Structure 1
Amino acid sequence: MTPGPVTNTDDFVSRALEVVESIPPGFVMTYGDVAAAMGSRAARAVGRVMSHYGSDAAWWRVVRASGHPAIHHEHQALEHFRAEGTPLRWSRDGVFRVNLAAARYTP
């Protein structure tokens, strides 16, 4: 069986994952930042890429615009953030987010 032609979706996925792989340890980009680095405004599509294809990528380095990690992955992300020295901010109730002013990466 021969593989089918590469579609625009495949191209979007590969480009998004390339941007994510370029983020150095200790830094993050938002979903919108990743889209913008690709010349797109499709932040939600980047989120879909990360949910379907991001398990082999440094997924924790892509955060929501608020600086919070992906929903339901906060504990795993926190382990990676601590290991990489990513700057964090903590609220009084123990909720954390990435300090985007200090950790945002711009390729």
Structure 2
Amino acid sequence: MAIKIIQEIRSAEIEADNIIKNAQLEVEKILSNARLKASGILEKAEEDAKKDHHLIVSEADKEAKKDSIAIKRDNQKEIKAIKHVAREKVDEAVNLIVSRTVR
């Protein structure tokens, strides 16, 4: 009778050890899958960040080009106005010289 009880205890211990080992293996699988998912999520986040960065830089570049074109246009208008005023002043100077020379 005692031998049977001891055998049952040993059998229960072996079964408990197997249950513990299986649980540990299951936990390791779960952790491994979680790490893989986390790694994938991190890679996706990095890719998204790179795409967002490129989009932001592209938009900023477009805005800078628009601003540059507007500034260039304004500068051309100012240059034309300055040239016009300069021509008027040259014409006035020529007329003044001619009128003094004629006198």
| Same-fold status (TM-score > 0.5) | no
Larger Rg: 2
Structure with the bigger percentage of strand? 1
More helix by share: 2
* TM score, norm. by length of structure 2: 0.19
